[in-house]
Structure 1
Amino acid sequence: MKRHVLLLWLLVCSGMTEAIEPISTTIAVGMAAALTGFLASYQNIFYYFHECCRPEWISFNRTGLRIDLENKLFGQHIASRIILKAVNGFMNNDNPKKPLVLSLHGWTGTGKNFVSKLIAESVYKEGMHSKFVHVFTSELHFPHQSQSAIYKSQLQQWIKGNVTNCERSMFVFDEMDKMHPGLIDSIKPYLDYYDKLDGVSYRKSIFIFLSNAGGENIVQTALDFWRAGRDREEIELKDLETALSLSVFNNNKSGFFHTSLIDKNLVDFFVPFLPLEYKHVVQCAMAEMKGRELQQDRGVADKVARDLVYFPKSDRVFSVKGCKTIESKLDYYT
């Protein structure tokens, strides 16, 4: 009704209602109502075609994430379980006390970037292409240590600006092991237990850190289990988490070196990604063929898997690069 009155007031101010009879005024109000309905419909159409910070574009798909983790992520029983529970619990909480902060660790090619993509696709209609998903890489965005002070200020402004635009923002920090120590501490307030900072709430945002740091500890644990004749599925988070967080915290070449994020327990989960075995590489190759809509050929998948480097050299148990080079190898064999 207020919109109708406003539109009518605009008509009055423009002189269009001068000497109008009461019945004409009624018509004007009707026109205003019709115009309001049109504008509302137009707004809804705009939301349909243009990505906005609304449920039409941001809505968590738990079933989709579970199926993707089960069918597309191989050899990572610990990571799959943690990711599903963490994201599900966070996205279904209408009033979280702090942002969700995940730190994914493991050697290259084990699935860290891939999991970030799956999370984005389960939350945002546009997935990683959403304007509410922001990826930072050390060598691209923070290349010069001498400019750390500038980077800290820029990073704070980037995050504040984007969360102001949409509280359901997601930030991915890749190559944390190459990030300058101390830089990530600049965003510590945004990850803490605050209702608002300068009028902005960060509690519904997601922060994901990706790092190779701590990978040696994870690999060593996997090797110990293998040498003891134990199945890798027997490895539990408790076998890795404490040693992982300590090694990352004390690694002076890591962006987490002596960071307050760890010291103040602001990282919700340190998620270990185990080294991949031959069978997992085969699964990766088969999945890649399926993704390309090619006929799934186990023979080709075996050729791709055999072409990779494994360690220990004498036993060829774990792939050195995981599934990272599968795409290019498959191009060669197909």
Structure 2
Amino acid sequence: MKTVFGEVCGYPSIRYDHDGLERNLQQKVFGQPFIQKLLLPLVDLHMDERYENRKALVLSFHGTPGSGKNYVAKILAESIFEKGMDSKFVHLFKPILHFSGQPPEILKFRLQQWIVGNVTSCQRQLFIFDEVNDMPEGILEAVKGFIDYNPRFGGLDFSKCIFIFLSNIAMIPINQRTLELWQDGTKRRDKLRHEDFMSIIIEHSFNEDGGFKKCKLITSRLIDAFIPFLPLERSHIESCIKVIADDYAMNSPLTPPMIDYIMESVEFTPKDLRLYSAHGCKNLDTPIKLVLMRYSRQMFDEL
């Protein structure tokens, strides 16, 4: 059996696992119907070697912090690259680290050079841009040439790349629209339509301060899907708690009273309905660890 040292531009370092992606999205991501409706089929088509891509796959995730945007990007990376987020073919950009302290033109040039350099080594690349709402206006214009149709420069083909943009842009109107539809009778999330959210996401992305403001990526229709991440309800938070606890609990599963205790630390909105978590599944680690620690000590004292 041949041993492969380090990552290679191909199998086994790059191997798309559709079943694993679908399973993880179903079992670990809650309350987000458009992940199954939009993300999964788009990734399937993009990764299918039987079809020639005309452009890079470009996705934009929008919603409240803690609603699952970064988590879904991580799951996607793990379904394509053996080392997941630690792969040299996966690149995470954050404004404070990569897009500050220099004039915009220099930052754009460096970004372009980074993309070209990596695609030169392997055409399968995943570029994740976090906190787009905090990026300087105009920076993302640097990637337009790489995600346009038939993007070939200097013998390089960028059509096998995936670009993902993560932001809180339009989270308030997304949450408000979700509440309006709930009040109008659409209680089941799988009955919500993407059309109910797309126009408000595009409008706010183009007009709000941040990396998308007046951006040609939007006016040129180069983003394949604007995916809304909806505010999470109580049942979704309880599911998040169970998944997070599995990483710590070992043989100490959470009991209903333990979950109730953790839920007391969660802030819900609006105040009169207490329907949605104000911070999604964020900030749950500490109360979960505290509950498990108390449980473990109690068990130890009873021995």
Q: CA RMSD in A?
A: 1.4
Q: Hey, what does 1:327 align to over in structure 2?
A: 285
Q: Could you tell me how far apart the structure 2 residues matched to 1:195 and 1:151 are?
A: 21
Unaligned runs of 5+ in 1: 1-40
Contact persistence 2:232–2:277 (CA under 8 A): yes
| Matching of residues 64-75 of structure 1 within 5 Å | 64-75=20-31
Q: Hey, what does 1:169 align to over in structure 2?
A: 125
| Matching of residues 84-233 of structure 1 within 5 Å | 84-93=40-49, 94-144=51-101, 147-233=103-189
Q: Could you tell me how far apart the structure 2 residues matched to 1:49 and 1:295 are?
A: 39
Q: How many correspondences in the alignment?
A: 288
Contact persistence 2:131–2:166 (CA under 8 A): yes
Contact persistence 2:16–2:79 (CA under 8 A): yes
Give the CA deviation at 1:123: 0.3
Contact persistence 1:142–1:151 (CA under 8 A): yes
The correspondence for 2:195, drawn from 238, 244, 268, is 238
Give the CA deviation at 1:97: 0.5
1:297 aligns with 2:248: no
Q: Which amino acid aligns with 2:240?
A: C
Contact persistence 1:111–1:273 (CA under 8 A): yes
Spell out, residue by residue over 1:73-95, the C-alpha distance to the aligned partner (whole angstroms, 9 max, x if none): 00111223211111111101442
Tell me: higher relative CO, structure 1 or 2? Use CA pairs within 8 A at least 6 residues apart: 2
Contact persistence 2:112–2:143 (CA under 8 A): yes
Q: Could you tell me how far apart the structure 1 residues matched to 2:281 and 2:188 are?
A: 18
Spell out, residue by residue over 1:166-214, the C-alpha distance to the aligned partner (whole angstroms, 9 max, x if none): 1001000000000011000011000101241122110001000000001
Give the CA deviation at 1:291: 2.7
| Secondary structure of the structure 1 residue equivalent to 2:128 | strand
Q: Could you tell me how far apart the structure 1 residues matched to 2:169 and 2:200 are?
A: 12
Spell out, residue by residue over 1:130-157, the C-alpha distance to the aligned partner (whole angstroms, 9 max, x if none): 110000001111123x521111110000
Q: Could you tell me how far apart the structure 2 residues matched to 1:195 and 1:212 are?
A: 29
Contact persistence 1:277–1:317 (CA under 8 A): yes
Give the CA deviation at 1:236: 1.3
Q: Which amino acid aligns with 1:110?
A: S
User: How does the TM-score come out when normalised to structure 2?
Assistant: 0.91
Spell out, residue by residue over 1:219-247, the C-alpha distance to the aligned partner (whole angstroms, 9 max, x if none): 01111022223214121111111221121
Spell out, residue by residue over 1:248-278, the C-alpha distance to the aligned partner (whole angstroms, 9 max, x if none): 1111x12100101010010000000000011
Shifted more, 104-113 versus 188-197: the winner is: 188-197
Q: Could you tell me how far apart the structure 2 residues matched to 1:219 and 1:79 are?
A: 17
Q: Could you tell me how far apart the structure 2 residues matched to 1:103 and 1:176 are?
A: 10
Give the CA deviation at 1:298: 2.9
Q: Could you tell me how far apart the structure 1 residues matched to 2:259 and 2:243 are?
A: 10
| Secondary structure of the structure 2 residue equivalent to 1:204 | coil
Contact persistence 1:225–1:232 (CA under 8 A): no
Shifted more, 214-223 versus 192-201: the winner is: 192-201
Q: Could you tell me how far apart the structure 1 residues matched to 2:47 and 2:260 are?
A: 39
Which has the larger share of helix?
Answer: 1
Q: Could you tell me how far apart the structure 2 residues matched to 1:208 and 1:141 are?
A: 16
Q: Hey, what does 2:299 align to over in structure 1?
A: none
Contact persistence 2:25–2:35 (CA under 8 A): no
Unaligned runs of 5+ in 2: 293-303
Calculate percent identity across the aligned residue pairs: 36
Contact persistence 1:108–1:321 (CA under 8 A): yes
